[in-house]
Structure 1
């Protein structure tokens, strides 16, 4: 059965990716490596560093940036850096942060592989500091309890909701491939998370692909079940502007060390950490949401869960991100092929890679 794709490319969420056809915020142009990230660095090259701007993404729940911003767990990032830290917020996803780095208003942040790929194509002056694989079980494909869909092969011909160009899309593609299917074999419905959940709850779609905590909350609210053997293949990064990474490498390295240590504190003290987030108003009055976050922190199924063990960008991260880029190009999400491998292996990053590796050894 030919897939009938919902034409809506609605609002970008934290993993969304705007299809660049002249309308994207950065625009994927001709992707020559010579033009990728080799322009003027954000900020004044070589100038004194007076503050660090660490962008927080999404709701800021149960993540290391919130620990550091609020000096929880005994952390004092500003004192450690010897600089004031500003916390730009209001970013629903890491892609808008790439735009902010390009406009010289952000120095450091989390970034998904999709955002890094977009930055490569858009000439954003970022430097990849560390990477890690997202939890292998972060993505789920939900079906209603009692559904006759029991495994991947049963999705053939069924209506499946997904936000096109996200980590969920990549998992869905791989899951279908594992049973000899493609997106052409399902009735693909492109919807952002909130609309997808509504469609799922109302029975307008047969299955829904998304990630944590959205799907775990939905599973409990809508008495849904997850299909077996769905995996997450995406990588995550922490990145800095070129001006921060190249002109102030020790500060960039100290930032990633603090992020790693804050994530380790969360995982070592899950009840204390989640209670602290609740005290900050992170969960409103939702006992269910607080419990879901506690469960996901303990089981390490959130996007930041791997940050306690990250390291300098390695071959696995490079190969995985290239594979994602190639798959999305084949799907038409990216209009041009992005040479992730050449860019991530650029020798310009060797010095900061060494500095970061040394900082993380402590």
Structure 2
């Protein structure tokens, strides 16, 4: 938020110039008229409620801005339905079980979550995707550590959150030195647990995504440093529970467009956005955390930063995610081969794809 270099090219990164252009286009498109429920939507049936999964506590990011009505938006009015927010998920992978249980209707999902969901027969409808920022992941080591490059990681104790973006970035980073995941002592830890272990010196390194690592660096100061040339390779998706998406494809398409426009608003108003998140309890106002979040927005390094480039599922997203699945299977992260490309491009999603394409102007 994918490819083995021996198989194909990795997902293209999103430059700040691309984000600025997309932000401007989205903001222009978000006219007053587009923010009201159109007559076509008003005439359609809508679900009585939608339950949306939130990674973390929901006090920062797109969902926090939408809940607070940033830019004058009124999400429930625009969609014509009640939104139930379900926070507390540590990553998008655990959300897939909630979708399967029928308790979540819509969620952000990294490619790793989608790859795991397909063989588990999680009933998802993929709606839209974008490449995660290429510099979203950081690899922290102790400041006085002898580890300088990927080659120095052999036999070392490394924390990652298994089956997530951090796992794939770790796999790809090790690959640059001819190493495999089995060449290190890989420990699966959540961001909070990994930070504690790292701060206590009980692990040699920690690879994770933003904002966790940027916040950790701000707290640890000169006690930690970053390894060079660590990259993010996978895509991010927005997916819906299939049974609900089949009934209300236009509602979900509209939600995807609102996400794209809201992320563009955040990108265009970083100081205002982080002040809003602070007022929602995301972090203490005017402190170091607020400054870290604002810089991450300006640098387009958050998972949602690339959402200004959201578009319908295409061959690039499908092929990239297939490469990730092939790598995971080859390394034993997945027990069997998964044909995720055919799933993502499947004709069973045509109605939803058409609705999303119409909304996003694709």
Q: Normalising by structure 2, what TM-score? A: 0.81
- Cα deviation, residue 204, structure 1: 2.6
- Counting matched residue pairs gives 317
2:190 is aligned with 1:181: no
For 1:52, the equivalent position in structure 2 comes to 50
State the shift of 1:73 in Å. 1.6
Deviations 1:304-350 (A, max 9, x none): 11111110112221122222222222333322222101111211112
Alpha-carbon distance in structure 1 between the residues aligned to 2:121 and 2:302:
29
| 1:286 shift after superposition | 8.2
Range with bigger deviation, 259-268 or 57-66: 57-66
What residue in structure 1 maps to residue 359 of structure 2? 359
> Within the alignment, does 1:340 sit opposite 2:340 as a pair?
yes
Output the CA distance in 1 between the equivalents of 2:331 and 2:321.
15
| Map of 2:239 onto structure 1 | 239
- Between the aligned partners of 1:86 and 1:190, the Cα distance in structure 2 is 30
Which residue in the other structure is 1:159 paired with? Answer: 157
What stretches of structure 2 of length at least 5 have no aligned partner?
1-43
Q: Please report how far the alpha carbon of residue 284 of structure 1 lies from its aligned counterpart in structure 2 after TM superposition.
A: 4.1
Distance 1:48 1:60, change over 3 A: closer
- Alpha-carbon distance change, 164 to 358 in structure 1, aligned in 2, over 3 angstroms: same
1:34 corresponding residue in structure 2: none
Moved more, 299-308 or 146-155: 146-155
Aligned equivalents of 2:275, 2:137: Cα separation in 1? 25
CA contact 1:58–1:92 (8 Å) conserved in 2: yes
Within-5 A mapping of 1:1-362: 49-222=47-220, 223=222, 224-284=224-284, 287-361=287-361
How much has 1:262 moved relative to structure 2? 0.6
CA RMSD of aligned residues (A): 2.2
Question: Greater CA deviation, 294-303 or 203-212?
Answer: 203-212
- Displacement after TM superposition at 1:237 (Å): 0.6
Shift of 1:113: 1.6
Q: Distance in 1 between matches of 2:300 and 2:349?
A: 30
Once residues 160 and 116 of structure 2 are traced to their aligned partners in structure 1, the CA distance between those partners, rounded to angstroms, is 20
Q: Which moved more, 1:229-238 or 1:279-288?
A: 279-288
1:106 and 1:162 map into 2 onto residues whose CA distance is 26
Question: 2: distance between equivalents of 1:55 and 1:155?
Answer: 35
Shift of 1:197: 2.0
Residue 315 of structure 2 contacts residue 345 of structure 2 at CA under 8 Å; is this kept in 1? no
- Residues in 1 aligned to 2:66 and 2:263: alpha-carbon distance in whole angstroms: 10
Q: 1:143 to 1:100 in 2, by over 3 A?
A: closer
Instruction: Normalising by structure 1, report the TM-score.
Output: 0.81
Provide the rounded CA distance (Å) in 1 between the counterparts of 2:229 and 2:183.
Answer: 19
Q: Which has the higher helix share?
A: 2
Question: 2:6 is matched with which residue?
Answer: none
Aligned in 2, Cα 1:278/1:251: closer, same or farther, shift over 3 Å? same
Aligned partner of residue 121 in structure 1, secondary structure: coil
